[in-house]
């Protein structure tokens, strides 16, 4: 009896050993296959078995890619680990192809948002699973929400700016701080309507969202959820509070709004995903993206007073024909939109566009084969400041590149016609293949129209009533510096909003 039991245990142990060995050999075979496929891609030699992790830890990835592309060309590889390949594409002929073919996202991105906000289809790795939801949301963002966004700046410019200035003895506000608050309020009011403006918990909601956003990627970076850490449970508690507040706000909006727009099921949406998770994800990502652009524009306006004056003159011309600059008359305010586009070109929300192909190798037209599962990045900050794409003044702030008049001056002279139009005509930014602040292809930002037109409406309302100036006596120079063709902003300037005379 004992010998029989012993044989069974030995058989079980042998089967377990064979299974584990087979699994590990399979993993090892995949690593060797990845190495074989990646070998033809140019890039620096690995200093160790663990790849270029040490190099990346001592410098910013954008700086490293700048040097690598200078040395190895438009396509380079870096090893982040023995089984983690990063491929950077700077060649404009290949970028559009890659952004069209590489439809998936990194799993870490989705995990960061799922852990913090609940299940959301907006950040699913596989494009096939998220395509319908993205198309549906894009229609909403470009339709009813966009129309609502045009009415928001009139309501928020006074309360947000004046409250921020009154909280400071000298009336000056931090550019980044006010930008984040403006972006958050614009997006929240666009989604939730007037109910949000009257909601007594709006300030608490904003603080929770911003605090969680700082820690989301840190906790998601753990391979195993760190249940043993107290800080993680505090973080989870904050997430739970944010979800409760979001559900409360959704319920209140549905009771008071008759449109029935707010994330109600259309009969086709996947009920696996939480409505509050979708909304918080949109609020999180949208607020940070819009805040970065607003802060950049504010910095440009205080350092280019002549441009600010030109835009104000443009707004006055629009008023002369009996229209509000907040309306959809963007053909009549080309200089304002040109400033928005140029600000987004010089300092995009993120320095890299990230993509991957989870299931299939990518075969590019130049013969390059990118293995499945590799991280693909486009160093958009380098691409948008490359003189071969933008000319000799690529490093300079020149909104004229987005206008029909390109005589080298900062903003073309305005000539008022009988209809109140200016002599400048805005170019379609899609004419510029290297203009990628909102991405491109199947995973392009679905809220780019809302962001651009919403921010334009905000600044039209803002500049109509205020001049934006540096705080008198400020020692901070807000003009950006260049480092290896990479724009680096100095500390956020202190700015003052001065009311214009009637």
Binding-site residues for heme, in ranges, read 445
Binding residues: 445
> Phi and psi dihedrals of 246, rounded to 5?
-65, -45
What SS3 class is residue 358? coil
CA distance 340 to 120: 30
What SS3 class is residue 204? helix
CA distance 293 to 298: 9
Using alpha carbons, select from 434, 476, 467 the residue that is nearest to residue 306.
Answer: 467
Distances in Å between the Cα of 356 and the Cα atoms of 84, 102, 325, 405, 425 are 12, 5, 41, 39, 38
CA distance 61 to 382: 12
Angle at 420 between CA 415 and CA 426, to 5 degrees: 70
Using alpha carbons, select from 143, 444, 443, 128 the residue that is nearest to residue 270.
Answer: 128
**How many residues belong to the chain?**
502
Distances in Å between the Cα of 456 and the Cα atoms of 239, 270, 398 are 32, 34, 17
Do residues 217 and 106 lie in contact, with contact meaning Cβ atoms separated by under 8 Å?
no
DSSP, residue by residue, 5-57: HHHHHHHHHHHHHHHHHHHHHHHHHHHHHHHHHHTTS--PPPSSTTTTHHHHH
Using alpha carbons, select from 411, 430, 225 the residue that is nearest to residue 307.
Answer: 411
Do residues 302 and 495 lie in contact, with contact meaning Cβ atoms separated by under 8 Å?
yes
CA distance 237 to 208: 11
Q: How far is CA 80 from the centre of its chain?
A: 23
Q: How far is CA 205 from the centre of its chain?
A: 21
Pairing of strands 173-174, 494-499: antiparallel
The torsion of the CA quartet 457, 458, 461, 463, rounded to 10 degrees, works out to: -110
CA distance 276 to 264: 11
The torsion of the CA quartet 89, 92, 98, 100, rounded to 10 degrees, works out to: 150
Other CB atoms within a 10 A radius of the CB of residue 402 amount to: 24
């Amino acid at each position: 009896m004992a010998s029989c039991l012993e044989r069974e245990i030995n058989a079980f142990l042998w089967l377990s050993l064979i299974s584990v060995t087979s699994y590990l050999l399979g993993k090892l075979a995949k690593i060797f296959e990845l190495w074989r496929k990646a070998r033809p891609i140019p890039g620096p030699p690995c200093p160790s078995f663990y790849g270029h992790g040490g190099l990346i830890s001592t410098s910013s990835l954008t700086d490293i890619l700048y040097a690598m592309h200078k040395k190895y060309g438009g396509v380079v590889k870096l090893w982040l680990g023995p089984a983690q390949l990063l491929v950077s594409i700077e060649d404009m002929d290949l970028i559009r192809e890659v952004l069209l073919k590489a439809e998936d996202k990194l799993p870490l991105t989705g995990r960061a948002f799922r852990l913090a906000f609940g299940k959301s289809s907006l950040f699913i790795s596989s494009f096939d699973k998220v395509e319908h939801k993205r198309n549906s949301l894009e229609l909403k963002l470009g339709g009813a929400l966009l129309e609502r966004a045009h009415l928001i700046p009139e309501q928020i410019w006074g309360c947000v700016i004046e409250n921020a200035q009154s909280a400071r003895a000298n009336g000056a506000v931090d550019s980044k701080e006010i930008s984040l608050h403006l972006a958050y309020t614009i997006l929240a009011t666009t989604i939730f309507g007037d109910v949000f403006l009257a909601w007594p918990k709006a300030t608490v909601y904003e603080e929770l969202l911003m605090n969680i956003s700082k820690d989301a990627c840190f906790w998601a970076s753990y391979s195993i959820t760190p249940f043993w850490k107290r800080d993680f449970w505090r973080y989870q508690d904050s997430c739970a509070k944010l979800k409760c507040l979001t559900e409360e706000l959704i319920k209140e909006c549905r009771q008071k709004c008759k449109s029935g727009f707010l994330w109600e099921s259309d009969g086709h949406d996947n009920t696996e995903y939480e409505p509050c998770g979708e909304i918080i994800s949109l609020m999180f990502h949208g607020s940070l993206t819009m805040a970065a652009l607003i802060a950049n524009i504010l910095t440009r306006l205080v350092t280019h007073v002549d441009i600010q004056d030109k835009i104000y003159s443009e707004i006055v011309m629009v008023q002369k024909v009996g229209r509000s600059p907040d309306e959809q008359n963007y053909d009549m305010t080309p200089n304002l939109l040109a400033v928005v586009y140029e600000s987004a070109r010089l300092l995009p929300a993120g320095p890299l566009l990230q993509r991957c192909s989870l299931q299939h190798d990518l075969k590019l037209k130049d013969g390059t084969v990118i293995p499945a599962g590799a991280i693909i990045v486009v160093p958009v900050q380098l691409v948008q400041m490359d003189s071969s794409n933008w000319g000799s003044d690529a490093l300079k702030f020149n909104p004229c590149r987005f206008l029909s008049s390109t005589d080298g001056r900062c903003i073309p002279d305005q000539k008022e016609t009988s209809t109140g139009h200016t002599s400048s005509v805005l170019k379609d930014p899609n004419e510029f293949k290297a203009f990628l602040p909102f991405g491109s292809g199947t995973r392009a930002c679905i809220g780019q129209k809302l962001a651009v037109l919403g921010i334009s409406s905000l600044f039209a309302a803002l500049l109509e009533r205020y001049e934006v100036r540096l705080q008198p006596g400020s020692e901070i120079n807000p003009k950006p510096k260049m480092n290896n063709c990479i724009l680096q902003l100095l500390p956020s300037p202190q700015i003052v909003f001065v009311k214009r005379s009637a």
